[in-house]
Structure 1
Amino acid sequence: MNSWLSPARPEVEVVTGRERRLVVTEILVVATVTLGLSGLRSLISLLDSLAAPAPLAQRKVTIDQPLATDAWVDLAAQLASSLQLVAWGGLGLYLLVRAGSGPRGVGLDGRRPWRDLRAACGLAALIGIPGLGFYLLTRAIGINLTVVPSVLDDHWWRVPVLLVSAFANSWAEEVLVVGWLLSALRRLGLTENRSLLVAAVLRGSYHLYQGFGGGIGNLVMGLVFGRYWQRTGRLWPLVVAHTLIDVVAFVGSALLAGKVSFLPGN
Structure 2
Amino acid sequence: MTRLDDWLRPAPPPQTEPPLDPRARRALWTEVTIVLLVTFGLSGLSGVLSLIETAMAPGRLSDQTVALNAPRATIGWIDFGRQLIGIARLCAWAALGLYLLWRSGLGPDRIGFGRHPRPRRDLLPGVGLAALIGLPGLALYLAATAVGANLTVVPSTLDDHWWRLPTLVLWALANAAAEEVLVVAYLISRLRRLGWSENASLAASALLRGSYHLYQGLGGGLGNVVMGVLFGRYWQRTGKLWPLVVAHWLIDTVAFVGYTALHDHVSWLP
TM above 0.5, yes or no, is yes
Following superposition of structure 1 onto structure 2, how do residues 93-242 of structure 1 map, counting pairs within 5 Å? 93-109=98-114, 110=116, 112-242=118-248
**Does the residue aligned with 1:194 lie in a helix, a strand or coil?**
helix
Following superposition of structure 1 onto structure 2, how do residues 33-72 of structure 1 map, counting pairs within 5 Å? 33-72=38-77
The alignment status of 1:17 with 2:22, answered yes or no, reads yes
Mapped to 2, the partners of 1:81 and 1:28 lie a distance apart of 22
Q: Structure 2: give runs of 5+ residues left out of the alignment.
A: none
**Does the residue aligned with 2:8 lie in a helix, a strand or coil?**
coil
Mapped to 2, the partners of 1:143 and 1:209 lie a distance apart of 12
The alignment status of 1:4 with 2:34, answered yes or no, reads no
Mapped to 2, the partners of 1:52 and 1:134 lie a distance apart of 23
* Structure 1 residue 112, shift from structure 2 partner: 3.0
Q: Which moved more, 1:17-26 or 1:117-126?
A: 17-26
The alignment status of 1:77 with 2:82, answered yes or no, reads yes
Q: Structure 1: give runs of 5+ residues left out of the alignment.
A: none
Retained in 2: the 8 A contact 1:12–1:186? no
The match for 2:261 is 255
* Structure 1 residue 17, shift from structure 2 partner: 1.4
Tell me the TM-score normalized by structure 2. 0.95
How many residue pairs match? The answer is 264
* Structure 1 residue 111, shift from structure 2 partner: 5.7
* Structure 1 residue 253, shift from structure 2 partner: 1.2
**Cα RMSD between the aligned structures?**
1.2
Query: Sequence identity, in percent?
Result: 57
**Does the residue aligned with 1:147 lie in a helix, a strand or coil?**
strand
Mapped to 1, the partners of 2:46 and 2:98 lie a distance apart of 25
Mapped to 1, the partners of 2:242 and 2:251 lie a distance apart of 14
* Structure 1 residue 16, shift from structure 2 partner: 2.8
